Amino acid sequence: MKKHYLTLFTAVCAAAVLTGCGQKEASEASDKASEDKAAKTEMVASDKPVKLSSDNPFGQTWDTYQGIPPFSKVKDEHFMPAFQKGLAEMAEEIDAIANNPDPATFTNTIAALERSGKSLTKVASVFFNITNTDTNPTLNALEVEISPLLSKARDSVVLNDAVWQRVNTLYESRDTLDLATDQMRVLELYHRDFTRAGAALEANAKARMSEINAQLSTLTTQYGQNLLAETKGFELIVTDEADLDGLSSAMIAAAKAKAEAKGQKDAYIFGLDRSVYEGFMTSSTNRELKEQLFQGYINRGMKGGDADNRDIALKIAQLRAEAASLRGYQSHAHYQLETRMAKTPEQAEEFLLKVWRPGLAKAKVELADMQALVGDAYTVRASDWWHLSEKVRQDRFNFDDSQLKPYFELNKVRAGAFLMANKLWGIKFRELTDVPQWNPVVTSYEVTDADGSLLGIFMMDMYARDSKRGGAWMSGFRSASKIDGNVRPIITNNMNLPTPGEGEPTLMAFGEVETLFHEFGHGLHGLLTQERYERTSGVSGPRDYTEFPAQILEHWASAPQMLAEYATHYETGEAIPLALVEKLKQASTHNQGFKTTEFIAASLLDLRWHMLTQDEANKITDAEAFEAKVLAEYGLLDEIQPRYRSGYFSHIFAGGYSAGYYAYLWSEILDADGFDAFLETGDIFDPELAKRLRENVYEAGSREEADELYRKFRGKDPSIEPLLRVRGLDDGS
């Protein structure tokens, strides 16, 4: 999952510095509304000039290498004054655009909007990245306070009637303005952003839109904080070593280290971070402990108490439905998908069902295989699936993850991803050992092109900790642009790998390897961008397209040519045996019925939450009952839970994927079809094809509509057949 760049103004939307996998309503940031230019005084608590203390780094020029934020100098108390100053400056800049006596031009309106809010961006990018990676109670409280302020700031721009009139005037006369191609595209996108935000609404509707946005800002923030508390608050404590049967030595060492860090000797603590959860559920032989961990995982945010998210999710859905109605749309999903590749929620649902049907059929076969494996010993339940599926794989293909892990050590996997980028495009990564970092585990790199020119700074934070939200994502501290010189980006990748015991290597399951390559793809999308304006820079395209540049790189992770380069034994240096590579390939479609079904179940749940009309949403009183009804209608097996339930579906209730979680699978059409192009050449590093991929995808941002960019790379529209083949669903079983 990625963190997304904002899609309207860098400053006001820096709260949405997205992504994956995504927590600050990034995809909706460009659609937020406000009352009008009079709202500018509401951006800050006081009309008095805001002065920063001399030690506040946000009032200083950062003399760090390439302007990396000086993290060690940033204190919690520095953020609010810096936000207030940034908001005040932003208000002045927008007021200057609105009240400019000169006729509207691209320079004094669109380019001025692009340049606005730099100091706000400076603080917001640091703040929201830190609250995602190293939060604390003070920052949590501050986030709740700041989010509504930023909502008002967004509103004061996109619902400012004077600014809207200038944008609209330019748009209506665009064919007479003699604009460059990229300027025309940016003008069209700004006009679309303002229109979809509600700039043309009547005053009363704008006022209500502002109220809704403020409520959503608070609710989505609370949802995310509740989920973090629920995830980090759960502990499965094991004191009997016999209960560790089946677990790897690395997992046991990490659990022991976690217990010792919490002052518990002779104990082992397992939490709900995805890597730990999947590893335990797959490897442990203790059914009852797996059931405990399983119940802890699937009931997050749905157990009652202060961190319960059910009512919050329902209220978010109701407010989004109302906002869509105000804008003239049938539902939030219709509003969201209008500008995406799927176009309508009905088309997204139809696509999902094409894959759901064979996926569900295959899942039923997989369930029968597992039941046959255990016979009459017990009836397979949902918490058994991970472990028994792995047993079937071992039996059928004679290998398991324990054979693979020694060949996937973090440093070597990272080097493999870097080598892939070098082989495709000549990109080089030089580690920086003396630059600021927000946590000691962060590694930083200078990224240069084949000609030696700087592409950007890349920073990686790979390990889980209690102060960090779950999942994996891409984000950034600075976006790329060329409006005032060639500003290169500062991009981050985040994962949540378990911290190994002292002296132990970080060995990765192959699914984690694919995740690293995936997030690296988002990172390259941010690093390679060559657009002049931030509005079309980096990962600014539609959500069901921006997963494509990430997902296509997962194919290289498992390609035999790449495995031979980076998959070497962490102790002996021996390359992964060809026989093991072949087994990996043969087993690639194993358990795809389960994987397909759990994913699509979540995607359908997302769509159904957001296809509700305002009246329909307001009639729902029980979020969990609504969820159960939806999943039953599609025929989800009792033994499979959706990948995300309503209480912990942060992608859609605290992130930028509302009505868009299907995007991963939609993009899989593109990535499977796109990688087929390389296979057709017989060279997965084919220079000409790699050049087209870079120029039309990684460098292009959203300079054109997504389907056109794909066609320029591929030479044709994508086909669904490669996706079905990759998932082993092409035989209809």
Give the tens place of pLDDT for each residue, 460-517: 999 999 999 989 999 999 999 999 999 999 999 999 999 998 889 999 999 999 999 9
pLDDT at residue number 158: 94
Return the residue matching tokens 């839970």.
Answer: 641
In 73-180, where does DSSP find H-type helix? 76-98, 112-115, 118-133, 137-158, 161-172
pLDDT at residue number 8: 34
On average, the pLDDT of the chain sits at 92
The pair of structure tokens assigned to 95 is: 């007021």
Give the tens place of pLDDT for each residue, 109-144: 999 999 999 999 999 999 999 999 999 999 999 999
pLDDT at 214 over 60: yes
pLDDT at residue number 23: 30
pLDDT at residue number 47: 54
Is 446 a known active-site residue? no
* Catalytic pick among 89, 519, 598, 668: 519
pTM, rounded to two decimals: 0.89
The pair of structure tokens assigned to 632 is: 């039953």
Q: Which domains does the chain have, with CATH numbers?
A: 14-32+34-200 (1.10.1370.40), 234-298 (no CATH)
Give the tens place of pLDDT for each residue, 543-582: 999 999 999 999 999 999 999 999 999 999 999 999 999 9
Task: Work out the angle between the directed axes of helices 706-714 and 663-681 (0-180°, nearest 10).
Answer: 20
Q: Which helix (H) or strand (E) holds 319?
A: helix 310-327
Q: Give the separation between CA 628 and CA 635, rounded to whole angstroms.
A: 11
Percentage of the residues of the chain whose pLDDT score is greater than 70: 93
375 torsion bin: left (phi>0), alpha (psi -120 to 50), beta (else)? left
Report residue 45's pLDDT band, with 50, 70 and 90 as the boundaries: very low
Query: Which carries the bigger pLDDT value, residue 299 or residue 18?
Result: 299
Q: Which helix (H) or strand (E) holds 491?
A: strand 490-497
Report residue 731's pLDDT band, with 50, 70 and 90 as the boundaries: low
Percentage of the residues of the chain whose pLDDT score is greater than 90: 89
Calculate the alpha carbon distances from 601 to 102, 474, 595, 638 in Å.
Answer: 54, 25, 10, 12
pLDDT at residue number 285: 97
Report residue 32's pLDDT band, with 50, 70 and 90 as the boundaries: very low
pLDDT at 35 over 60: no
pLDDT at residue number 39: 33
Question: Which range (34-38, 326-330, 681-685) has the least confidence?
Answer: 34-38
